[in-house]
Chains A and B, each alone.
Chain A
Amino acid sequence: DTEVTQTPKHLVMGMTNKKSLKCEQHMGHRAMYWYKQKAKKPPELMFVYSYEKLSINESVPSRFSPECPNSSLLNLHLHALQPEDSALYLCASSQVSGTGVGYTFGSGTRLTVV
């Protein structure tokens, strides 16, 4: 199994809603990531988890709350988002954070905030 699975694929939410994005991998990777990608822009790192602990938070607003319940799962909890938060949210994993091995990305969740 060499996949990173993200659900849902599409999400429309209001600014007062609470929703969660989910990411799952069964490759035994111990580093997992959340990236945000706006149209025609490269992905931007949001969070890095290494061995289920948050190791990097790129000054992301608190309305985004990551969670890593175990080594295979990564969640991103969303609350009180703004329309400008609409983007493609990508999860990725790698063997260990910072190694020379490339990361595997999930297919993403396309989020629209209305």
Chain B
Amino acid sequence: NAGVTQTPKFRILKIGQSMTLQCAQDMNHNYMYWYRQDPGMGLKLIYYSVGAGITDKGEVPNGYNVSRSTTEYFPLRLELAAPSQTSVYFCASTPGQGALYSNQPQHFGDGTRLSIL
């Protein structure tokens, strides 16, 4: 059981370049999330999705876009990369909401370490 898989693990971008961070989960979870973690800080929510075709902004969405065409995949797109987007990006998933899932935490991938120079 792979859980949440993120690719790539590391990437260096030049200012102004674009890239897509990939996230896949094999647990059939409905809810998926993208966070960024800056050095020595907690995680901040970028975007989230409650199902295929449904996405919404989190706390820090500027400079990012997402799509969710299937349950399994939730890619994060960076357009026109800026140094302020240097961070570690985590994707997470959880089955859903309600009493049936109340005991379930969010499950995290291993992260993508992104540097923009």
Chains A and B belong together in one complex: no
